[in-house]
Each structure stands twice: as C-alpha cells, then as structure tokens.
Structure 1
Amino acid sequence: MDKKTEEFYDRLKGELEKSSSWPALYLYKFIVPTDAEKIEQVEKAFDCLGAVIKTTQSKTGKFTSVSVDVQMKSPQAVIDKYIELSTIEGIVSL
C-alpha cells in the first residue's frame, strides 16, 4: 500500500473512532464498472454480515453505484473491508 493510501486510512480510522461508538452501522459507497462479476464481488464481500445492498446504474449504463449499509465491529473492520475491495479492478470508494 502506498504512503498516501496509508495516510488516508489512518485519518479515516481516527475520524471513525471519534464519531461513533462501536459496533456501529456504516454506509459504504462504491462505483464500479457495470459488470455483473464486479458487482457480485462487492456483494459477496458482505455476505453473512446482514448488509442492505442497493445498486443504481448510471445514466450511460457504464457504471453502477453500490451502497452497502452494514453493522461493522470497529473502525479497523471498516478499513479492512475497504482494503479487501480495493483489489476489484476499476472500483472507486466514495
């Protein structure tokens, strides 16, 4: 992981620690190229976590927004999930 990414996650973890008591509900938002396999990869990453997942295709149909509302154990668990999903080609975390 590069230095900039590491600093981003450190800052996010600090903000999460201050803003919520854990476990807490967390809303992930991702943009992925509209590809059933990539959308499925995001959905599978949250299997068995009781997540509520909503997908919306862009007007052009090239991209799909994926919102995931899920109970997470800790700020570190939130970060770990971002890192796990960062391996999906073309994914953008919002």
Structure 2
Amino acid sequence: MSEAKDPEEFYRKLKSQLLDTTSWPAIYLFKFIVPTDPEKIKGIELIFDNLGAVINTKQSKKGNYTSVSVNVRMQDPDEVIEKYKEVGQKIDGVISL
C-alpha cells in the first residue's frame, strides 16, 4: 500500500474497501518492507506488541531489505488505518503494502 498524493483520500478509500470486503472484527494481514535494520524491525514489533500478533520476517535475496508480515485481530477499519499511520510515522523508510 503506497500512499497517494492525498493520504487522507487514500485512507478513506481503504476504509470503504475494508468495510465492503470484511466482517469485523477480523484477522488482518499487514505487510511492510523496511531496510534491513534490527532497530526498524523491532520498532514494528513494538507497535503490535500486546495485541497477540503473529509476526514473520524474511530478508531479501541480497539482504538489503526485510519483509515484515503481521497477522493480528483488528476490531474495525479505523484500527487498521491507525496502525498503518503509526508505523509510517515511527519507522523511517518503511513501505506499507
């Protein structure tokens, strides 16, 4: 999920799609790409700490980037969007998919 020129419009569309396609609460899969840096990966893990999240990481072939997948139960689309925003604000260089 890369942010468009107007992030708020992007999040409005995302919320609408999530409401249309998912029964809430639901297990949601977040996917992030970060430069391989243990501090950045730990930062993402801390954002989802105490939520019962299952977090998996996988380094790219050259080891420059790490994919972080987070499976976690979310109550509604607003909670999903808040997590995306929190990761974007706290983790430099993150790409949200």
- State TM-score, norm by structure 1: 0.95
Q: Which runs of 5+ in 2 are unaligned?
A: none
SS of residue matched to 2:69:
strand
Structure 1 position 90 matched with structure 2 position 93: yes
Structure 1 position 61 matched with structure 2 position 80: no
Q: Which runs of 5+ in 1 are unaligned?
A: none
State, as a whole percentage, how many aligned pairs show the same letter: 58
Runs of 4+ more than 2 Å apart: none
- TM-superposed CA distance for 1:3, in Å, is 5.8
- TM-superposed CA distance for 1:43, in Å, is 0.5
C-alpha separation between the residues in 2 aligned to 1:48 and 1:18? 28
- TM-superposed CA distance for 1:73, in Å, is 0.6
SS of residue matched to 1:86:
helix
SS of residue matched to 2:16:
helix
- The equivalent position to 2:74 in structure 1, one of 72, 76, 79, is 72
C-alpha separation between the residues in 2 aligned to 1:35 and 1:3? 27
Count of matched residue positions in the alignment of Structure 1 and Structure 2 = 93
SS of residue matched to 1:59:
coil
CA RMSD, Structure 1 to Structure 2 (Å)? 1.2
SS of residue matched to 1:29:
strand
Structure 1 position 51 matched with structure 2 position 53: yes
> What does 1:10-49 align with in structure 2 at a 5 Å threshold?
10-49=12-51
Partner of 2:7: 5
SS of residue matched to 2:34:
strand
